[in-house]
Structure 1
Amino acid sequence: MLWLLLLQVLASCLWLGHSEVVMPFASCPQFFYGGTPPNNVLEPKKPAWICQRYRNSYHFATLYDRDGRIPVYSAYIYQPGSGIGPESVWFVEPQLISKNNLNEMERESVLIDEHKFTLDQIKDSQAVREDYDKMTGLSRGHLSPCGHLYSKESKMATFTLTNIVPQDTSLNNGQWNIYELKTMHEKSKGCTTTYVITGAVPGNTYVVEGRVNRPSHIWSAACCLVGTQPKKAWGAIAGNDQNKVENLSLGELEDRLRGLYGGRTVTLFNNACPRQ
């Protein structure tokens, strides 16, 4: 019996050391208030919990759907800074490719030229640049937006396709952009720390020959702390086929998501965050 226990312990250590895509956000709980991610109602059939790592640092956290090839949500701390990211550079996630020990986002060309992966291996469980190049009427919609993070490295890190969904172009450039730039700025005034989770509800349609899910809705939730105490919270949601955003309380957003997820109760934040 002892040798069986030792084998189990060894297997666990080997698994945990394999990559950063492991059980829920063990390496990056700091992006969730109280270290509490959303409950498991949002989890897809084939989830990947990604601590988004770039240049040896974690910048945000993402729950990824390997089947739909889209992120379900990204969580981060709102720290807006000036400057924009380099849209000509897009990363993919080597941790979603089997049998490797790479734990940091990388460009497709580097994975192919230096690490000898094939494009088909990369494409197996994630979207790639050519997928988004083929889309019409849809743009690369950030869940963790470049403009909500402060450092050059954090801004760069948002340009990974594991943080991107096919978003209606008019929405991405219109009312959702206003929410990201203006509404968030206004609502977060006076907050010491603002935790944000932005997500996408998987839809019933796929684009790029069935490779990438087109979300039915885009949503975002925030919990504002003054000092160390949560004082207010809010949410927003938009259908991914029109240029319109609804501003909601956190409780209203969770109720709306409950309806979109088959009537199952959705909890986005630690219960200390106000629902009204």
Structure 2
Amino acid sequence: MSHRTMDWLMLLGCVSLWPGMVLAEVGSFTGCNMYFYRDAEPRGFDTADTAEICQRYSNLYHFATLYDRPQRIPRWSAYTLGEPNCPGQAQKRSQWFVEPQLAHPDESPEMTTEAESTLSLDEWRSSQAINEDYEDTSYDRGHLNPNAFQYNDDHTATFTLTNAVPMNPYFNRVHWSKLEKTLKAQLTGSCRNAGGKPYLVTGAVPSDSEKIPIEAEDKEGDRNRPYNRVSVPSHVWTAVCCDHGDNNRKFSFAFIGENKEASGLQIIPVEQLNTELSRLYKTPGPVEVFADDCGSESQKGQEVLSAMKKALYNIFQILLTDPYSQLVKRRKLDRETSQVMTSQTLDQKKMQLTGIGFLVGISRLADGHSQFEKTYEQDNLAPAVARLARAADDSELYIRVTAPGWPCVEEFCGYQGYAYSWCYTSDSNDWDYCCTGKCTVNPASKLYQCPRGDGSTIQCSPQYSTMTVSGKVCRADHPCGLYEEKYFWCYIDYKDNWDYCCSPQHNCGTHGYGYQWCYIEDPEKSWEFCTMRITPW
């Protein structure tokens, strides 16, 4: 078998953990206004079916949550940054706590396990998610208020299902986790230690249609369990506000990512997040996360944003092994990406960090041409970063991958005098077609196809995962894909060792059998045993 390598822009993500005895109070934010910037709760998110919860533990409030009863997930949790060092914190456990007052307002404010409560399962199910909703699924219980941001009692109070949403395990444990660690370090140094107070709001956008699905094994073994109850969020977001007595040291920013394994991350101003959330939540009126947007245009905020981007970039560099870092293309991409991050002419509001590369939004192609000429001249950026691909409005700055998944060499995908989009894939003048639209499944053939720019379509390869059937991590520059084979695979090192991947249309699971397996070929043909199934937290 002959396999080749490709350049790949890694993508970002999150993780969270556990409790003890927790109390909460439902119905009003009166007792927990201290967790809101200027004592003002986020506006525009509430509906007739949302519940305001002041999360309380050991008779003290610890954070605030707006809970969506029909979707059975919180819309957001508002909190402040806890102590910087938190040794000896609680470990994970199988049973999370639930909120009796969501089922009956007259119940005790003390959170409890379902087994210790006098309420029936049906009473619990009527108002909120419970532990069984996450059992035998491929989703993590992802914290909104991160346990890693809190200390002692504040830490314990985060382990409640009213503070959890179903998160893709890779998004939760890799992308979002790295972001949380970087954010905590930046806020500790740039806000808390500088005399400011960090306020944060983390939220989840309920999906219009996706719920935690039924597993095949449960169809046979647990017929009394209701399914499709808990909404799987389409996006997870965080808004950050550093309040300071000196307005010049006050700043805010926000970020938002899709809740999936291959997730890009946008770092944007708070006012832009407001607009985006109003669209995603389909609110009847405007959304306001922070009153007056908490100084989002301040110079200090721009400095912190720049530091965040550089810190995230350095984290992803660590993931690359030494042999790969010696490659010419790796060094070139490092240099180009570093130059982009220090650019003085690129509009920071339109930059989208996706890992070890960037996407840059442009309003019109003509504007983009003049902008990047200026950027190239003033910032001395590499020609590869300054060129524009043939694209529509708000497009990617460059496209480097052919339809089968291989990297372009020397040039980007483009028409280059032909009716179709293409690029060279080797130094010996080999070439291949490029996609000019999304690589999607043909309903009839169950195979992946994409337009190539001349009105016809071509078979293509999705690049969708970074884990193999045996749980190995794909090489940083080579995610799961077809790469001109019939089955899905990826390299796992730089010695051309490789492993199969589950088809993007068939996740690893028992699927009605006593072992874990998945199809590695579409349509459903060859299969392999797999060990990617992740035990729920």
Asked whether the two chains share a fold, i.e. TM above 0.5, the reply is yes
Which amino acid counterpart does residue 231 of structure 1 have in structure 2? K
**Which has the larger share of helix?**
1
Corresponding residue number in structure 2 for 1:162: 162
In the alignment, the residues of structure 2 paired with residue 68 and residue 262 of structure 1 have an alpha-carbon distance, to the nearest angstrom, of: 15
TM-score normalised according to structure 1 size: 0.84
Q: The residue matched to 1:86 in structure 2 has which SS?
A: coil
Distance 2:256 2:293 in 1: 22
3-state SS, counterpart of residue 72 of structure 1: strand
Partner of 2:37: 33
2:63 aligned partner: 60
The answer to whether structure 1 residue 259 and structure 2 residue 279 are counterparts is: yes
State the match for 1:274 in structure 2. 295
The structure with the greater share of residues assigned to strand is: 1
Question: In the aligned structure 2, how far is the partner of 1:269 from the partner of 1:94?
Answer: 30
Distance 1:121-1:186 versus aligned 2 partners, 3 A rule: same
**1:68 to partner: Cα distance:** 0.6
Please tell me whether the aligned partners of residues 252 and 293 of structure 2 are also in contact (alpha carbons under 8 angstroms). Answer: no
CA RMSD, 1 decimal: 1.9
Alignment-derived partner of residue 235 in structure 1: 254
Determine which of 193, 202, 212 is the counterpart of 2:197: 193
Distance 2:293 2:204 in 1: 24
Partner of 2:53: 50
- State the partner residue of 2:119: 117
Partner of 2:149: 148
Q: Is the 8 A contact 1:52 1:104 kept in 2?
A: no
Asked if 1 retains the 8 angstrom alpha-carbon contact of 2:142 and 2:166, the reply is yes
Which sits farther off after the overlay, 248-257 or 155-164? Answer: 248-257
Provide the secondary structure at the position in 1 that maps to 2:52.
strand
* CA deviation map 1:124-168 (0-9, x unaligned): 1111111111321x2111000101112x11111100000000011
Q: Check if 1:92 corresponds to 2:92.
A: no
TM-superposed deviation, 1:93:
0.6
Deviates more, 1:236-245 or 1:59-68: 236-245
Aligned to 2:264: 244
Say if 2:207 is the partner of 1:203.
yes
| Structure 2: tracts of 5 or more residues without a match | 1-23, 214-226, 298-537
Specify the SS of the correspondent of 2:184.
Answer: helix
Give 1:245 shift.
2.2
SS at structure 1 position matched to 2:124: helix
1:71-90 equivalences under 5 Å are 71-79=74-82, 80-83=84-87, 84-88=89-93, 89-90=95-96
SS at match of 2:277: helix
Contact 2:148 2:155 in 1 (8 A): yes
User: Which structure's CA Rg is the greater one?
Assistant: 2
Matched residue type, 2:73 = I
Q: 2 CA distance for matches of 1:133 and 1:228? A: 49
Ranges in structure 1 where 5+ consecutive residues have no aligned partner: 1-18
In the alignment, structure 1 residue 130 sits paired with structure 2 residue 132: yes
Identity of aligned residues (%): 37
TM-score of the two chains, using structure 2 as the length reference = 0.45
Separation in structure 2 between the aligned mates of residue 56 and residue 74 of structure 1, nearest angstrom? 19
Return 43-52 or 210-219, whichever deviates more.
43-52
For these two proteins, the number of residue pairs brought into alignment is 250
Give the C-alpha shift of residue 250 in structure 1: 1.4
Instruction: Find out whether 1:20 has 2:29 as its counterpart.
Output: no
Please state whether the residue corresponding to 1:178 is helix, strand or coil. helix
Structure 1 CA distance, aligned partners of 2:54 and 2:31?
A: 7
Match of 2:334 in 1: none
Partners of 1:104 and 1:122 in 2: CA distance: 15
Inter-partner Cα distance in structure 2 for 1:257 and 1:226: 26
Match of 2:308 in 1: none
Alignment partner, residue 171 of structure 1? 171
What's the offset of the Cα at 1:225?
A: 1.8
| SS, match of residue 203 in structure 1 | coil
Amino acid of the residue matched to residue 269 of structure 2?
S
Q: 1:77 to 1:174 in 2, by over 3 A?
A: same
Give the superposition deviation at 1:187.
4.3
1:225-255 CA-partner distances (Å, limit 9, x unpaired): 2347571001110011233322222122222
Counterpart CA distance in 1 for 2:238 and 2:86 is: 22
3-state DSSP of counterpart to 2:201: strand
Once the two structures are TM-superposed, the CA of residue 123 in structure 1 deviates from its matched residue by: 1.6
CA deviation vs aligned residue, 1:113-132 (integer Å, no higher than 9, x gap): xxx21122112111111111
* Counterpart-to-counterpart distance in 1, 2:281 and 2:293: 23
Q: Tell me the distance in 1 between the aligned counterparts of 2:69 and 2:85.
A: 31
